[in-house]
């Protein structure tokens, strides 16, 4: 259920409503908006008996039943788009964001040279894996905390916020110490203990769609995070598993406009993991921006042929420059400039 406050409601009015909700044994989730505040009610198993009482309280404009199974992530709960700001970079705002970097952190020179290259091309967030979930137990599993320290050094060098994956509950505090954004991979989309644990941090979380997950599954997983109090959730489409095998996954860009209707959360698309082929990344990046996504996540490596993981889906820095040039033209046509993309970068 959602309590919509009047535009002129005072902080005391809002607190009084929250107090009544909590006295019912429920949770009050305050969501300030551009013109008025809404208070989402969670924890109820059915209709709220005292809903009529709430409607009569000072400052209350309306009490609305949220019909979607996910509440806090629903567009019914929050009409305005959520904008997440990290060190001056906005995700979900009027301009687009590009996250780029290596799949795995392999060493200092590899990471720092890639960070400088993607920043020069216009990327505003650095990606890099310190812990890697691999299909084979014999594959490279990541550098661990040493990789996190290198990410922090790259942030100091470039000024870019950093995003990296956290794989289990025991890693959350460690990764949160170094990273600006916590990434939950496709295999962990329904790891409910991990969803709850990152929900109790105050780091933004990027939740990748599971390999065979429906939109409802995905949004309910985001609900787990938000129900723990963390409102800074980013959704990432990274391809789903279907019967076809022409690419690593099927890049479901049709989900972007559907998500726009259903949720207020920012949407990132990852053509690198979705396609698994560097040749497909550029055209699918153009398509991703045209579909209405808020940004891209791209794998870049100085020498993909010798990458320790996913070299076949990593771009050379010069190809990333070409991608940014082409994507910028699509973005301009949609009146959504790319953050970090200056005239100097475009020349």
In a domain, 315, yes or no: yes
Same domain, 106 and 191: yes
In a domain, 225, yes or no: yes
pLDDT at 79: 86
Same domain, 195 and 251: yes
In a domain, 77, yes or no: no
pLDDT at 244: 81
pLDDT at 267: 98
Is residue 329 a contact partner of residue 96, using CB atoms and an 8 Å limit?
Answer: no
Same domain, 198 and 272: yes
In a domain, 257, yes or no: yes
pLDDT at 342: 61
Cα 62 to Cα 1, 33, 36, 304: the distances in Å are: 11, 15, 12, 56
Q: Which letter, b or e, does each residue of 289-308 get, where b requires 16 or more Cβ atoms within 10 Å of its Cβ?
A: bebebbbbbbbbbbebeebb
The structure tokens listed for 336 are 């959504």
Q: For the chain, what is the domain count?
A: 2
What is the rounded CA–CA span in Å between residue 125 and residue 97? 8
- Give the other-Cβ count within 10 Å of 51's Cβ: 15
Residues in the chain: 347
Which residue segment(s) compose the domain that 287 sits in? 84-346
- Average pLDDT by consecutive 10-residue portion of the chain (347 residues)? 90 94 89 84 76 90 84 88 95 97 95 97 96 76 91 96 96 96 96 97 96 96 94 96 84 96 97 94 97 98 91 95 96 94 52
pLDDT at 331: 96
Same domain, 206 and 284: yes
Same domain, 204 and 126: yes
Same domain, 99 and 203: yes
pLDDT at 114: 97
Tell me the Ramachandran region of residue 92: left when phi exceeds 0, alpha when psi lies from -120 to 50, beta otherwise: left
In a domain, 69, yes or no: no
In a domain, 189, yes or no: yes
pLDDT at 343: 44
Same domain, 129 and 32: no
Same domain, 169 and 246: yes
pLDDT at 139: 76
Write the CATH number for 331: 3.20.20.70
pLDDT at 95: 96
Q: What is the pTM of this model?
A: 0.86
Cα 116 to Cα 38, 111, 112, 326: the distances in Å are: 42, 9, 6, 20
Same domain, 52 and 164: no
Same domain, 216 and 271: yes
pLDDT at 248: 84
Boundary-marking domain end, from 64, 93, 110: 64
Is residue 277 a contact partner of residue 246, using CB atoms and an 8 Å limit?
Answer: no
pLDDT at 214: 96
Same domain, 266 and 306: yes
In a domain, 98, yes or no: yes
Same domain, 223 and 328: yes
């Amino acid at each position: 259920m959602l309590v919509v406050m009047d535009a002129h409601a005072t902080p005391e009015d809002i607190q009084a409503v929250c107090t009544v909700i909590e006295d019912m044994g429920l949770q009050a989730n305050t969501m300030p908006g551009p013109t008025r505040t809404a208070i989402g009610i969670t924890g109820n198993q059915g209709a709220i008996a005292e809903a009529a009482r709430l409607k009569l309280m000072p400052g209350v404009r309306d009490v609305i039943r949220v019909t979607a199974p996910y509440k806090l992530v629903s567009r019914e709960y929050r009409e305005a788009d959520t904008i997440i700001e990290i060190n001056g970079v906005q995700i979900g705002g009027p301009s687009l964001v590009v996250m780029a970097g290596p799949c795995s952190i392999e060493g200092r020179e590899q990471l720092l040279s890639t960070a400088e290259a993607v920043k020069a091309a216009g990327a505003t967030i650095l990606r890099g894996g310190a812990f890697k979930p691999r299909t084979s137990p014999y594959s490279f599993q990541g550098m661990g905390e040493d990789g996190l320290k290198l990410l922090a050094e790259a942030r100091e060098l470039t000024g870019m916020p950093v995003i990296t994956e956290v794989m289990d509950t025991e890693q959350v505090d460690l990764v949160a110490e170094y990273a600006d954004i916590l990434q939950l991979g496709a295999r962990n989309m329904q790891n409910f203990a991990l969803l709850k644990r990152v929900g109790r941090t105050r780091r933004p979380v990027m939740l990748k769609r599971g390999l065979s997950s429906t939109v409802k599954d995905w949004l309910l997983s985001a609900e787990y995070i938000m129900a723990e109090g963390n409102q800074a959730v980013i959704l990432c489409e990274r391809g789903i598993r279907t019967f076809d095998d022409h690419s690593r996954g099927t890049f479901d860009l049709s989900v972007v406009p559907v998500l726009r209707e259903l949720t207020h959360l920012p949407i990132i698309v990852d053509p690198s993991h979705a396609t698994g082929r560097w040749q497909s990344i550029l055209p699918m990046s153009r398509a991703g921006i045209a579909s209405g996504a808020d940004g891209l996540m791209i794998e870049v490596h100085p020498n993909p042929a010798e990458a320790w993981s996913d070299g076949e889906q990593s771009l050379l820095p010069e190809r990333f420059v070409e991608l940014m040039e082409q994507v910028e033209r699509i973005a301009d046509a949609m009146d959504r400039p790319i953050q970090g993309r200056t005239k100097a970068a475009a020349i």
